[in-house]
Structure 1
Amino acid sequence: MGGINIHCPPFVGRDKSGTPFEAVLAEISEGAGSEVESVVRAVNEALEIASDHILIAPADAAKLLDPLRVWIERMPNDPRPLFSECAEDLLEACRAAVSNGRPVALVW
């Protein structure tokens, strides 16, 4: 898999900012509760069968908002800039999904 882009119109993430999304989702799900863990598990299952993209439904995106926001606030100087960019773009895409009812797309 090459670089991964994050989209949820009208939001378009930075080029390849979604590349570390699996690790970011794993980190935000730690201690975030069963709903978030369920969303992350569903994303991982979708990834196993995907060929070039996965979608996160607006209802699942809503469950990721708080954990992403908390992670970003807790890690303002994370030494992994790609992780920070990924979390920020995922947060904005999830906000767009909740607002417009369209899924978040992770495309490679």
Structure 2
Amino acid sequence: MGHDKSGINNELFFGEKNAFSKKYEAILYNESKALSPSAKVYFNQINAFLAMKKGKADLAYTHMQRIRVLYSWYPEIKENNYNEYLRSNRNLCIVLMHQKRFEEATEVIDQLQKP
């Protein structure tokens, strides 16, 4: 049915049957409901994750690019939580690799190596 190796039913955890899906749908629908720059980053991270779970890599890419914009506009977010910044770039690379955009993924990694 939708079980993974651990026996978790992914349909209940991630799918339409998840009780939280409907409850949080309104919050995750519009970025303007995210009141701080960090909340906007989380909004886009969650939506990118959900898009990938639905097989919508293009939508995930849009959210990941938005995160990059937010980090450039608000460098203090990156400075205060550098691990999250690196994780976001890793996730962007995963999306790009899923789309077979390997050169762009390499560029993301190369940009991280610049001082």
Q: Under a length normalisation based on structure 1, what TM-score does the superposition of the two structures give? A: 0.37
Larger radius of gyration: 2
Considering fraction of residues, name the structure with more strand: 1
Considering fraction of residues, name the structure with more helix: 2
